[in-house]
Amino acid sequence: MSVSVAFDKARAENRAALVGYLPAGFPSVEGGIEVAKAMVAGGCDVIEIGLPYTDPLMDGPTIQDAVHRALTGGTHLADLFRTVEAVAATGAATLVMTYWNPVDRYGVERFSRELKSAGGAGLITPDLTPEEGGEWLEVADSLDLDKVFLVALSSTEERIKKITDVCRGFVYAASLMGVTGARSAINTGAPGLVARTKAHTDLPVGLGLGVGTGAQAAEVAGFADGVIVGSAFIRRILDAPTLADGVRDARTLAEELAAGVRARG
């Protein structure tokens, strides 16, 4: 399912969409599937399944830790596709967030076809820009997959236009200059970035990086179409004594965030 369906549904309910991130294979392949399902049950409209990668240079310590555990636990591409399939079966739009090299190495078309057949909606590509994304853009268009690129606070108007022109599904706005990880406050520049992005596109704009509480979700939902949360979910699982506790805590967080996106600040 394309993520635009999820964003349309949220828009119809006059709220922002809730997007949750979890790397495949964390805390285990089956455990991750359970957690992701709980995130959907708690109110996530869209799930980003991260492909664990050895060199996650955009990620802060929490996601690095989770990804490292996934890799040392033996997570492979087959596990990613299996996770996508299980999560997509819940009805939530399911994207893969991945650094570029694993896709490049596996073959862009082969990767895309397997993603599609698993029910995946598309890719979020944090280290791929439209300039280097030619092959992906072509394959994604031929398979009707979502192409989510990032805009940043430092992006010029020219770049925002170039990026939004090639996005499909939604545009990922990075709320701060920095790596992933929950922060105590939403960056004051974030609303401006979303507004600048919306000036160039009718696509929904989701805001990520640094969001972790219901109150922050409500604040972000006041100016963005989507609220993206990753590290805060992972933190719950890392802190939980058992998988069952982690699943429950992830669901509780999703419920808190889902209430937040309905209480727009």
Q: Which is nearer to another protein, 117 or 154 (CB)?
A: 154
- In the bound complex, what is the minimum distance in angstroms from residue 205's beta carbon to another protein? 14
251's CB contacts (< 8 A; 6+ apart) are 38, 39, 41, 42
Amino acid, single-letter form, for residue 155: S
Q: Which of residues 199-258 bind another protein (CB under 8 A)?
A: none
Name which of 89 and 195 has its Cβ closer to another protein: 195
Question: What is the identity of the amino acid at 215?
Answer: A
Name which of 77 and 137 has its Cβ closer to another protein: 77
CB atoms within 10 A of CB 221: 25
CA 31 to centroid of chain Cα atoms: 19
Q: For this structure, is 146 an active site residue? A: no
* Pattern 58-97, another protein, x by CB under 8 A: xxx---x---x--x----xx--------------------
In the block, tokens 């997959």 appear at 145
Binding to another protein in span 148-207, by CB under 8 A: 149-156, 159, 163, 174, 177-179
The interface region with another protein, picked from 37-45, 84-92, 123-131, 135-143 by CB under 8 A, is 123-131
* Segment lying near another protein (by CB under 8 A), choices 54-62, 89-97, 220-228, 235-243: 54-62
The residue count for binding another protein (CB under 8 A) is: 40
- Work out which of 129, 135, 166, 248 binds another protein, going by CB under 8 A: 129
Q: Check residue 103 for interaction with another protein (CB under 8 A).
A: yes
Is 59 marked active-site? yes
Which residues are the active-site residues?
48, 59
* Contact set with another protein (CB under 8 A): 53-60, 64, 68, 71, 76-77, 100-106, 126-129, 131-132, 149-156, 159, 163, 174, 177-179
